[in-house]
Amino acid sequence: MIYLPTLGGPISSGNGINNLGQVTGWAAIATGPAHAFLYSNGQMIDLGTLEGTTFSIGLGINNLGQVTGYAQTANNGDHAFLYSNGQMIDLNSVIDPALGVRLNVAEDINDKGKIVANSASGRAFLLTPVPEPSTLAFFGPALLALTASAYANRRSNRYH
């Protein structure tokens, strides 16, 4: 049994664990409300909060150490988040605003980065990551060359 420390406050609570033994949850901080944490290799990492929010709670964690959860604003509005590569992202900032959906809780994430989240209206959603445009720009020419090469080989093989 391993004691999970706090972030300077009196209590902590674990909510999710991955196959590597990394844990997420929330822990009280010395100067105020609770923050989401990532416990990894004996280190308790404070994930902070989203801008304009007062506290955060980690709920799900995948084997890549990505954490999902929610952060609450001063007026009690919850915002679903993803913590990845040292950064907490409001999931509402990466979905199409034309959908008219506000995601308030990101419950869990799998190793492919798919997230199950709930909206403020009581609906559940499955979020699937898409490559960034910069990633497509980097790989696009290589994929185009590979496709052209495969097409040329297939075409030349057809006439032999």
- pTM reported for the whole predicted model: 0.80
Query: What is the spatial distance between Cα 90 and Cα 68, in angstroms, rounded to a whole number?
Result: 10
Q: Which of 122, 113, 120 is nearest to 83 (CA)?
A: 113
For 80-103, write each residue's pLDDT tens digit.
999 999 999 999 999 989 989 999
Q: What is the mean pLDDT of residues 121-150?
A: 63
Q: What is the mean pLDDT of residues 129-151?
A: 52
**Residues with Cβ within 8 Å of residue 123, at least 6 apart in sequence:** 101
**Residues with Cβ within 8 Å of residue 55, at least 6 apart in sequence:** 26, 32, 33, 34, 35, 49, 71, 72
Tell me the average pLDDT of the chain. 84
Query: What is the spatial distance between Cα 69 and Cα 102, in angstroms, rounded to a whole number?
Result: 14
pLDDT value for 147: 42
The answer to whether the CB of 3 falls within 8 A of the CB of 35 is no
pLDDT value for 74: 74
pLDDT of 142 > 60? The answer is no
Share of residues in the chain with pLDDT > 70 (%): 81
Q: What is the mean pLDDT of residues 47-61?
A: 93
